[in-house]
């Protein structure tokens, strides 16, 4: 019957949907989700904002807005980003329907069929889906505890260039990586800028978690790469309201060089005309009133508490063969198991014991390596973490013993 | 510097943005917009819904939802569509970020580069942008007062098939067409189903305006084509909350054959993961409470009043050479000017006199014919229509005189 576009065949069913239905099954302990806990949403602030909207603001909320975003939100978001040191003067801002849309738009802007791109391994599954949907040729480069491995990346770029396959961009999540939890060091960020600038390869910097640091003073490691690069490198920076207000608003943004801005606007115009005005009005009030800073302070404390408990449990129960890094922010801890271990099998056992997480293969751009586990502490309270991690550890141990 | 994907080059800047900035200039009379009037939004109903949300509902509103839509909205929307006679049992429903996203997803599902598709001439500019962004080869077929001209469509299909260029789909807006205002007759709908079924070519039926009928009893002409086609033809039906609640919610839907459903879900997953839960919660309450029917009754009366005034003014002031059809619903009247007339020139004169509309070229898939004008009555009250239409008529007359 119907003949579909070839690019659609490149998309595969992700595990995520099935896991999510498990994760919300009553009684199951979930370390699977990458979403804020329901108990942590800023409902009291949103209620107040909603109650105080004027008739005129309500009309704006119900109407179409400009494709690039409501002017008031662009203004308050610029202010917010400026305070974080982002280059809002030299770059242009577009509000998107979640930051996944920003990544998708950039993929569409840069990628023709079979064009090469480079991502980290592991990488964010949403971005991988977007890249696959344009039939990009995805090359992946490993991460260590400081970030993407520069020598490997250099070799990969040179090898591709030698074959006339210059990569269209490099996509990374340098700040509290999903799923690897890694925070790129300042040194590694600098090396990356130099390498890419030398080859004139644009960078997509995905920063959905940067505000969720556990440290009380700003570390140089938190410097956005887009702020370090100046004019030496084209950096498209993406961010999200999903982790700092709520994913249900479906709002993110991209901060991009002017050369790319108009293309992105046209693509967005054809995608969904504009992002929801209704939630843009709420997000603007949330930023403009300064409530965002109070709320961020609250959730940082809570996520840090949860992370601390997970660290404690992992230190106590995990076998020594499992390698992992203590998170300094964000949502995730990435457990690296010995080579050849099948984490999907471990997941099956864990689910039988009432605990769910995401197995490593989900995040492998090559759809191959399965010897890792992502456990997230964002969506589970301290007591539940204390009950759940020993079960995960036990499932891992038994699997290692039986190998 | 940056090399962009070829598909992006196919997108052109639309006139719409510049017109919209004109249309919102203080004092200017706008017949340009395709949006509901700010004064018509159901703010009192939305206020009540918002005030009555439970804590649990607010949490759902802030959280990610399933890619295909919140279960409660899928349920209440199914009920709403079922009452209108739509085949919700045999087809599958997906909530989208506006119905433009639904059209874009379908375009991505069906179209590889240079694939042929068929649209009406004139056609909805948003859909045209989506189709162009996938580098579809757009063929267009004329409309008369009863709908798409079947003989022309038949010839076009046969000619394409003879060249091994079977169209991937036909895209139409049969019910209160944008911009042409036409309501396809029942007879024409039936002929279309027979023609496409005979050639096994899927149909995309865009129905963003179907609820805005001015007639007190249901005419057979309003029968959705997807309801008439049964199993004989694959019809992907798209709809929108933009005209029946508000565009700022950014919610639409597609009702598609099961064979297409999973592909569309995967594409949407890579586009924006899910549509805004926040506005989905509000839309569900709006439908579930039955408030939608009260509100539709209110706006139908108001739009009919506005249309009546516009008809009256056009009948009084327009020169005889201009052909147009009295609208039976929807937002638009399409003024067909003699061949060779340049409506963009008329628009420039009209703007100087303080009135804006959209010139015909905007809606021409061939980017060519400019001898038409779209005037919309959705966004302007009766008194303003009475002041503005004589100015449009005068600009047209003077242009015809000077030719």
CA distance B336 to chain A (A): 27
CB contact under 8 A, A271 and B275: no
Averaged pLDDT score across all residues of chain B: 94
Burial class (CB in 10 A: 0-12, 13-18, 19+), B57: middle
Residues from chain B that touch A242, judged by Cβ atoms under 8 A, are 64
Name chain B contacts of A58, Cβ cutoff 8 Å.
41, 43, 46-47
Nearest to B341 by CA among B397, B394, B403: B403
Supply the pLDDT for residue A115: 98
Give the global pTM.
Answer: 0.96
pLDDT band for position B8 (cuts 50, 70, 90): confident
Instruction: Count CB pairs under 8 A between chains A and B.
Output: 243
pLDDT digits (tens, 9 = 90+) for A238-287: 999 999 999 999 999 999 999 999 999 999 999 999 999 999 999 999 99
Contact at CB, A250 and B266, closer than 8 angstroms: no
Over residues A319-332, mean pLDDT = 96
**Nearest CA of chain A to the CA of B323: how many Å?**
31
Per the CB < 8 A criterion, the answer to whether B378 and B34 are in contact is: yes
Residue B183: which H helix or E strand, with range?
none
pLDDT band at B2 (very low <50, low <70, confident <90, very high): low
What are the structure tokens assigned to A318, written together? 């995990």
Q: Tell me: the pLDDT tens digits for B229-281?
A: 999 999 999 999 999 999 999 999 999 999 999 999 999 999 999 999 999 99
Q: Among B93, B101, B184, B190, which Cα is nearest to B146's?
A: B184
Asked whether the beta carbons of A169 and A202 are under 8 A apart, the reply is: yes
pLDDT digits (tens, 9 = 90+) for A346-387: 999 999 999 999 999 989 998 888 899 999 999 999 999 999
| Triad B132, B174, B327: Cα angle to 5° | 115
> How many angstroms separate the CA of residue A338 from the nearest CA in chain B?
31
Which residues is B116 bridged to in the sheet?
B137
Query: Please, what's the b/e burial string for B143-158 (b: 16 or more CB within 10 A of its CB; e: otherwise)?
Result: beebbbbbeebeebbe
Sheet holding A147-148, edge to edge: A92-96, A252-256, A235-240, A203-206, A170-172, A116-121, A137-144, A147-148
pLDDT score recorded for residue A217: 81
More confident residue, A27 or A66: A66
- Say which CATH architecture domain A47-291 belongs to: 3-Layer(aba) Sandwich (3.40)
DSSP H stretches of helix in A52-203: 55-62, 71-83, 99-110, 125-133, 150-162, 186-199
Contacts of B11 in chain A (CB under 8 A): 263, 266-267, 269-270
Compare CB distances from A101 to B100, B266, B271 and report the shortest one's residue.
B271
Give B-chain residues touching A62 at CB under 8 angstroms: 38, 41, 43, 46, 245-249
Is it the case that residue B23 has pLDDT exceeding 80?
A: no
Instruction: Give the model's confidence band at B216: pLDDT under 50 very low, under 70 low, under 90 confident, else very high.
Output: confident
pLDDT of residue A248: 98
Instruction: Express each pLDDT in A249-262 by its tens digit.
Output: 999 999 999 999 99
Neighbours of B194 (CB within 10 A): 14
Give the chain A residue nearest B46 (alpha carbons): A58
Instruction: Check if the beta carbon of residue A333 is closer than 8 Å to that of residue A377.
Output: yes
Query: What end-to-end distance do the CA atoms of chain B give, in Å?
Result: 47
pLDDT of residue B11: 65
Distance CA A347, CA A356 (A): 7
- Shortest CB distance from B97 goes to which of A43, A97, A110? A97
The CB-side HSE value for B369 (13 A sphere, CA atoms) comes to 16
Max CA pair span of chain B:
66
The shortest C-alpha distance from B278 to chain A (Å) reads: 5
CB contact under 8 A, B67 and A17: yes
Chain A contact set for B4 (CB, 8 A): 109-110, 263
How far apart, in Å, are the Cα atoms of B139 and each of A50, A130, B155, B167? 47, 29, 12, 9
How far is A226 from A235, CA to CA, in rounded Å?
Answer: 6
Helix (H, G, I), strand (E, B) or coil at B386: helix
Cβ A277–B250 below 8 Å, yes or no? yes
Question: Among all residues of chain A, which has the CA nearest to that of B52?
Answer: A47
Sort out which chain A residues have CB atoms less than 8 A from B116's CB and list them. Answer: none
- B263 neighbourhood in chain A, CB within 8 Å: 4, 8, 11
For residue B36, the chain A residues in CB contact (below 8 A) are 63
pLDDT at residue A36 in the model: 95
Q: Which of B4, B66, B270 sits opposite A109 (nearest CB)?
A: B4
Per-residue pLDDT reduced to its tens digit, B179-197 = 999 999 999 999 999 999 9
Amino acid B16: pLDDT: 53
Domain spanning A6-42+293-401, CATH architecture: Alpha-Beta Complex (3.90)
Query: Which residues in chain A have Cβ-Cβ distances shorter than 8 Å to B46?
Result: 58, 62
Angle between helices B186-199 and B150-162 (to 10 degrees): 10
Distance, in Å, from the CA atom of A322 to the CA atom of B308, rounded to the nearest integer, reads: 74
- Subunit contact B259:A62, Cβ cutoff 8 A: no
Query: Phi and psi of B95, rounded to 5°?
Result: -80, 135
Give pLDDT tens digits for B353-372: 999 999 999 899 988 888 99
Tell me the percentage of chain A whose pLDDT exceeds 70: 95
Give the pLDDT band of residue A11 (cuts 50, 70, 90): low
Query: A93 has which bridge partners?
Result: A255
Confidence of residue A18 (pLDDT cuts 50, 70, 90): low
Residue A175 CA to residue A177 CA, distance in Å, equals: 6
Q: Please give the average per-residue pLDDT across B309-328, as a whole number.
A: 97
Summarize the confidence of residues A107-111 as an average pLDDT.
Answer: 97
Q: Are B130 and B238 in contact (CB under 8 A)?
A: no
Q: Which residues in chain A have their CB less than 8 angstroms from residue B276's CB? A: 97, 248-250, 276, 278-279
Q: How far is A252 from chain B (nearest CA, A)?
A: 10
- Tell me which residue has tokens 């940056």: B2
What's the helix, strand, coil split of chain B in %, to 5?
A: 50, 15, 35
Closest to B81 in 3D by CA, of B229, B256, B233 = B256
Q: Cβ-count burial of B124 within 10 angstroms (0-12 exposed, 13-18 middle, 19+ buried)?
A: buried
Residue B395 scores a pLDDT above 90? yes
Contact status, residue A65 vs residue B38, Cβ threshold 8 Å: no
Q: If you ran DSSP here, which 8-state letter would residue B329 be given? A: B
Answer whether A67 sits within 8 Å of B17, measured CB to CB. Answer: yes
Instruction: Give the chain A residue whose CA is nearest to the CA of B115.
Output: A5
Read off the pLDDT of residues A159-199 as tens digits, 9 standing for 90 and up.
999 999 999 999 999 999 999 999 999 999 999 999 999 99
Taken as a whole, chain A contains a residue count of 403
B225, B189 Cβ separation under 8 angstroms:
yes
CA distance to partner chain B, nearest, from residue A220 (Å): 29
User: Please, which pLDDT band fits residue B19 given cuts at 50, 70 and 90?
Assistant: low
**Closest chain B residue to A199 measured between Cα atoms?**
B1
Write the CA distances from A132 to A114, A140, B57, B391, integer angstroms.
10, 13, 35, 52
Quick one: closest CA in A to B128, which residue? A270
Distance CA B264, CA B105 (A): 6
Q: Is the pLDDT of residue A137 over 90?
A: yes
Using CA atoms, how far apart are residues B315 and B322, in angstroms rounded to an integer?
10
Structure tokens at B204: 């995309």
Written as six digits, the tokens of A268 are: 């967005």
Architecture of the domain delimited by B6-42+293-402: Alpha-Beta Complex (3.90)
Which residue of chain A is at minimal alpha-carbon distance from B273?
A100
Q: Which two tokens stand for residue B355?
A: 């009135």
CB B279 to CB A279 under 8 A?
yes
Please state, in angstroms and rounded to a whole number, the distance separating the CA atoms of residues B225 and B189: 6
Looking at 3.40.50.300, 3.10.530.10, 3.30.1860.10, 3.40.640.10, the CATH number of the domain B54-291 comes to: 3.40.640.10
Do residues A212 and A243 make contact, with C-beta atoms less than 8 angstroms apart?
yes
Q: How many angstroms away from the CA of B75 is the closest CA of chain A?
A: 18
Local structure of B4: helix, strand or coil: coil
Nearby residues of A293 by Cβ (< 8 Å), 6 or more positions away: none
Q: Categorise residue A103: left if φ over 0, alpha if ψ from -120 to 50, beta otherwise.
A: alpha
**DSSP calls for A208-265:** SSTT-B--SS--GGG--HHHHHTTSS-EEEEEESTTTT-GGG--EEEEE-HHHHHHHH
Give the pLDDT score at A108. 97
Distance CA B119, CA B131 (A): 10
Does residue A20 surpass a pLDDT of 60?
no
Nearest to B108 among A5, A55, A275 (CB): A5
Lookup: tokens for A172? 């990374």
> Which residues partner with A332 through β-bridges?
A376
Considering chain A, what is the average pLDDT of its residues?
A: 94
- Of chain B, the percentage scoring pLDDT greater than 70 comes to 95
Domain boundaries, chain A: 6-42+293-401, 47-291
Higher pLDDT, A137 or B17: A137
Residue B10, pLDDT > 80, answer: no
Q: Note the pLDDT tens digit of each residue in B103-123.
A: 999 999 999 999 999 999 999
Using the 8-state DSSP alphabet, how is residue B323 labeled?
Answer: B
């Amino acid at each position: 019957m119907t003949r579909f576009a070839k690019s659609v065949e490149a998309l595969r069913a992700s595990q995520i949907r099935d896991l999510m239905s498990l994760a919300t099954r009553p009684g199951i302990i979930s370390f699977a989700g990458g979403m804020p806990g329901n108990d942590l949403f800023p409902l009291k602030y949103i209620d107040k904002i909603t109650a105080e909207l004027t008739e005129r603001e309500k009309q704006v909320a119900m109407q179409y807005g400009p494709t690039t975003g409501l002017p008031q939100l662009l203004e308050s978001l610029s202010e917010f980003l400026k305070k974080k040191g982002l280059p809002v003067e030299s770059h242009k801002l577009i509000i998107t329907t979640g930051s996944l849309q920003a990544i998708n738009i950039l993929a569409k802007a840069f990628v023709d069929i079979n064009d090469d791109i480079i991502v980290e391994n592991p990488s964010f599954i949403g971005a991988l889906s977007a890249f696959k949907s344009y039939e990009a040729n995805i090359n992946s480069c490993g991460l260590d505890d400081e970030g993407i491995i520069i020598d490997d990346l250099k070799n990969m770029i040179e090898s591709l260039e030698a074959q006339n396959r210059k990569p269209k961009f490099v996509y990374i999540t340098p700040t509290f990586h999903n799923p690897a939890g890694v925070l790129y060091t300042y040194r590694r960020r600098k090396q990356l800028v130099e390498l890419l600038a030398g080859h004139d390869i644009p960078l997509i910097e995905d920063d959905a978690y940067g505000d969720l640091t556990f440290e009380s003073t700003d570390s140089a490691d938190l410097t956005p790469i887009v702020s370090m690069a100046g004019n030496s490198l084209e950096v498209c920076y993406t961010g999200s309201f999903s982790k700092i207000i709520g994913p249900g608003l479906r709002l993110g943004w991209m901060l991009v060089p002017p050369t790319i801005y108009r293309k992105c606007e046209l693509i967005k115009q054809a995608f969904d005309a504009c992002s929801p005005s209704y939630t843009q009005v709420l997000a603007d009030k949330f930023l403009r009133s300064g409530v965002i800073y109070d709320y961020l302070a609250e959730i940082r404390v809570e996520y840090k508490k949860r992370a601390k408990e997970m660290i404690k449990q992992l230190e106590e129960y995990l076998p020594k063969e499992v390698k992992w890094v203590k998170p300094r922010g964000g949502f995730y801890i990435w457990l690296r198991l010995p080579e050849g271990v099948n984490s999907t099998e471990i997941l099956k056992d864990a689910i039988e014991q009432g605990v769910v997480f995401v197995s490593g293969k989900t995040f492998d751009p090559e759809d191959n390596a399965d010897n890792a586990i992502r456990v997230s502490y964002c969506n589970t309270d301290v007591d539940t973490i204390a009950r759940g991690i020993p079960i995960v550890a036990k499932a891992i141990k038994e699997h290692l013993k039986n190998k």
